[in-house]
Structure 1
C-alpha cells in the first residue's frame, strides 16, 4: 500500500489517496514486465514486408542466349537473382509476429510496472472544470506548477476525455501523452518521465486492473 499526495490545479497539496495493487514477486517482477513489453512491441509489427522470388518476378521465360558459342556465361533467365531486376534470395515474406500472454500475467505485469513508477507519479484533483475552453498554455502552466520540467515526457491519465477541451489542449504538446484509465499499456508507463493521474483515475485503475 502506497500513500500519494493529491495536488490541486494550483499545485498545492489538497489531500491524500491510497494506491494498493498486488504486484509480482521481486525475483520475477523484471522478467514478467519484460515479457509484457516485448509482447506489446512485437504485436505492433504489421509483418507485411514482402519481396518476390525468381518464380514470382514478371518475365524471363525465354533463355536470353544460347548455351554455347557466345563467350558469355551460361544464363537461363533474365530474372535470376544474379541479374538486375531479378528475384530476391531469402527476402522477407509476410509474417505474424504476435506473441501470446495470459490475461492474468498481462495485468500482473501492468500493475507491477505501474507501482514501480510510484516515485514519478503525481496525483491531482479532477481539473476538467478548470478548462472551460481549449487552452494549451493553461495545461503547460499546470504541469509546471505540479513540478514537471518542460522537456520531460508526461503520461496524463484521466477517467474521461470528454468534453474535448483537454484533448485539444494537449494534442500539440509533443511530450504529453493522454490516456484513459482503461487504456493503459506497459510501454507508455515505462517510457514516460512523469505520470500524472487524477484521483478518480487512480481509483478506477485499481478497480479495473486489480480484479481477475
Structure 2
C-alpha cells in the first residue's frame, strides 16, 4: 500500500510505500479500539430512582381488606404510575473497556493502511494557513477532491486553527491526538511529514 505525497500546493507529487508492519493486521483490533473509545466518551448520566428513592407513598393507599380490590402498600410501587423503577440505569456504572497500548497502535496502523488502500492517505511537509482565513483552508481541502478530511498537524498554531474551525468537512488535530477512531471516521487523512515519521518509527 502507498500513501500519496503532496507538494506545497497540495498537489500529488509522488507515492510513499507503507512499512510492512501496517499490513496483515486483524481488523478486529480496530473494532475493539473503537468500541473502547466510544464507551469511554459515554456521558453516563442516565439515572433512575427505585421505590425507596421516589418521594411520597408513605401512607397505605387503602385498607388491606374490605374494598374487593388488590392489596397495595404504597403508591410508589413499580406497578403504579409514578412509582419507582426496577433495575433501571444508574450513573455509577463503569463503561470503560481496557485496550492495551500495543493494540491501540495496531488499530491505528490498520485504519491508516485501509486509507492508503483507498488512495485517501496523504502526506505533506506542512499544514499551515498563515492568513487564518477559512477560504484559504477551504481551497486546500478542495484540492484533495475528497468528501471529508482529517488534518493531522504536529503543533497547531492559532491562525491555522482559526482557518479550519468553521469547515464542517474538515477536522484539525495535533499529532498526539491522532487515534484509530478518528482515522476510521474520516474518509481521508492528511498528515504532516513530521507526524508520519513518528508513526513509522513507533510501528517498528
Per the TM superposition, whether the score is higher than 0.5 is yes
Residue 125 of structure 1 and its aligned partner are, at CA, apart by: 2.7
Q: Deviations over 1:1-29 (max 9, x none)?
A: x5544222423345655543624635xx1
Q: What residue number does 2:19 align with?
A: 20
Q: Deviations over 1:118-149 (max 9, x none)?
A: 12112223142xx332101011111222333x
Q: Which secondary structure does the structure 2 equivalent of 1:22 belong to?
A: helix
Q: Which secondary structure does the structure 1 equivalent of 2:198 belong to?
A: helix
Equivalence map 1:150-169=2 (5 Å): 152-162=147-157, 164-169=158-163
Q: What residue number does 2:178 align with?
A: 184
Equivalence map 1:44-123=2 (5 Å): 44-94=41-91, 95-118=93-116, 119-123=119-123
Q: What residue number does 1:139 align with?
A: 137
TM-score, normalised with respect to structure 2: 0.87
After TM superposition, the structure 1 stretch with the greater mean CA deviation from structure 2, 12-21 or 97-106, is: 12-21
Confirm whether residue 124 of structure 1 aligns to residue 118 of structure 2.
no
Change (3 A) 1:181 1:21: farther
Q: Which secondary structure does the structure 2 equivalent of 1:177 belong to?
A: strand
CA–CA separation in structure 2 for the residues paired with 1:3 and 1:74 = 74
Equivalent pairs, count: 201
Aligned CA RMSD, in angstroms, stands at: 2.1
CA–CA separation in structure 1 for the residues paired with 2:16 and 2:194 = 10
What stretches of structure 2 of length at least 5 have no aligned partner? none
CA–CA separation in structure 1 for the residues paired with 2:78 and 2:49 = 10
After TM superposition, the structure 1 stretch with the greater mean CA deviation from structure 2, 85-94 or 9-18, is: 9-18
